[in-house]
Amino acid sequence: MTEEIKKGLAGVVVDTTAVSKVVQETNSLTYRGYPVQELAAKRSFEDVAYLIWNGELPTEAQLKKFQERERSQRAVDDKLVQLILDLPKDCHPMHVVQTAVAYLGAVDPEADAEGPEANLAKAELLYAQLPTIVAIDHRRRHGLDPIAPTKDLGYAANFFKMVFDEVPAEEVVRCFDVSMILYAEHSFNASTFTSRVITSTTSDLYSAVAGAVGALKGPLHGGANEAVMAMLEEVGTADKASAWIDDALAKKAKIMGFGHRVYKNGDSRVPTMRKAFEDMVAVKGANDLLDLYNAFEEDFVGRKGIYPNLDYPSGPAYHLMGFDTDQFTPIFVMARITGWTAHIFEQQANNALIRPLSAYDGEDQREVPDDRG
């Protein structure tokens, strides 16, 4: 083989994007030019969703209109509610999300309509309905009836209300909102790239999003936030972290929530999410979990020099908010729908079919025998 193989496309620049910029050297991430930490400190997820799609932060009037559109589209149709209720209770919640996205594509007569306006309408519909879908799924697993969305609450507060039938303290809603801002977009990650590959075939937005959901589910990508919590629960207490890590490394296991393809010196989103996790610890008085978190991080980073990624603090933060562990990645979908669809718009606007080459290393060409022998 003479071709140079870039396994996992590592280091390959595939296309341009104006949605976000990840700078490895300076450990920074910007959405449309704004540092993500500043957005998390000063704006809501609704502002950031608007920014990601429209390129500019909304004015007061633009935000109001945007929120009105989102609130008016939150309710899902009865057939979709029934479809979710009929799925096996022990299936993974990401399969529920993927099924629901495919359903929304199937019933949208404009599913194949192209152009910025038609696509933004579909993206806004998914953004408005995904929280309702995730909440219905959560409740059915607990044997509870769905709670209809309300137009009186903001995006994050309405989600809590639909899941738990109550809106928690403002600090909790804010921590959740911060996580949504941090999860919204991250350039050509595996799921976003999947959505661009599907879009490049001139397939429709729902198909591209359903594919992206599948890519996000894996523990090397979005599924890591669930895996982190499962891991911390298995470790149990801070004093057991070191022995647990010894054992895991002896088995050559990957430690969930650590490492990143792009950031090698720390994920730029972690300090902001860590602070949100600490706020949750303060609200819930969960100091044992914080001790475990710190001991595990200190030990693993000390040994390997591999730093936490966003999933490390977000997993335990969602746990303290009361969400079931297997709903963490669907929550990630609720945020990333903004980034995925912004990339789908870009891909459509300047499309080239994504079709790489492979280096063949199988059998040499041979004749098909006349009989089966």
3-class secondary structure, 258: strand
Of the pair 24, 287, the CB lying nearest ligand ACO is at 24
Considering only CA atoms, give the Rg of the chain: 22
Shortest distance, position 301 Cβ to ligand ACO, whole Å:
11
β-sheet bridge partners, residue 23: 28
Give the start-end residues of each E strand in the chain: 20-23, 28-31, 34-35
Asked whether the CA dihedral 361, 367, 372, 373 is positive or negative, the reply is negative
Q: Which of 111, 147, 306, 354 binds ligand ACO (CB under 6 A)?
A: 306
Nearest to 320 by CA among 197, 127, 165, 175: 175
By CB under 6 A, residue 261 contacts ligand ACO = yes
By CB under 6 A, residue 254 contacts ligand ACO = yes
Of the pair 104, 228, the CB lying nearest ligand ACO is at 228
Q: Which of 138, 186, 260, 319 is catalytic?
A: 260
Scan for tokens 């010196």, then name that residue: 265
Q: Which of 256, 270, 281, 295 binds ligand ACO (CB under 6 A)?
A: 256
Any catalytic annotation for residue 299? no
Asked whether the CA dihedral 118, 14, 130, 210 is positive or negative, the reply is positive
65's CB contacts (< 8 A; 6+ apart) are none
Q: Which of 311, 319, 326, 343 is catalytic?
A: 311
| Token pair recorded at residue 245 | 């890590």
Instruction: Report residue 123 CA to chain centroid gap.
Output: 15
Count of residues that interact with ligand ACO, criterion CB under 6 A:
17
Burial of 61 (0-12, 13-18, 19+ CB in 10 A): exposed
**In this structure, are residues 110 and 73 in contact, taking their beta carbons and an 8 Å threshold?**
no
By CB under 6 A, residue 260 contacts ligand ACO = yes
Shortest distance, position 85 Cβ to ligand ACO, whole Å:
30
Of the pair 160, 258, the CB lying nearest ligand ACO is at 258
Shortest distance, position 259 Cβ to ligand ACO, whole Å:
2
Any catalytic annotation for residue 343? no
User: What residues numbered 35-94 form the site for ligand ACO, per CB under 6 A?
Assistant: none
Of the pair 164, 258, the CB lying nearest ligand ACO is at 258
CA distance linking residue 74 with residue 252, whole number of Å: 45
Shortest distance, position 40 Cβ to ligand ACO, whole Å:
16
Stretches 25-33, 155-163, 232-240, 307-315: which one binds ligand ACO (CB under 6 A)? 307-315
Instruction: Report residue 284 CA to chain centroid gap.
Output: 25
| Token pair recorded at residue 191 | 């799921």
User: What residues numbered 208-237 form the site for ligand ACO, per CB under 6 A?
Assistant: 220-222, 224
Binding mask 308-327 for ligand ACO (x = CB under 6 A): -xxx----------------
- 360 C-beta neighbours (distance < 10 Å), count: 9
Q: Which of 257, 313, 316, 339 binds ligand ACO (CB under 6 A)?
A: 257
DSSP 308: B
The contact set with ligand ACO (CB under 6 A) reads 8, 220-222, 224, 254-261, 306, 309-311
The residues that are catalytic are: 260, 311
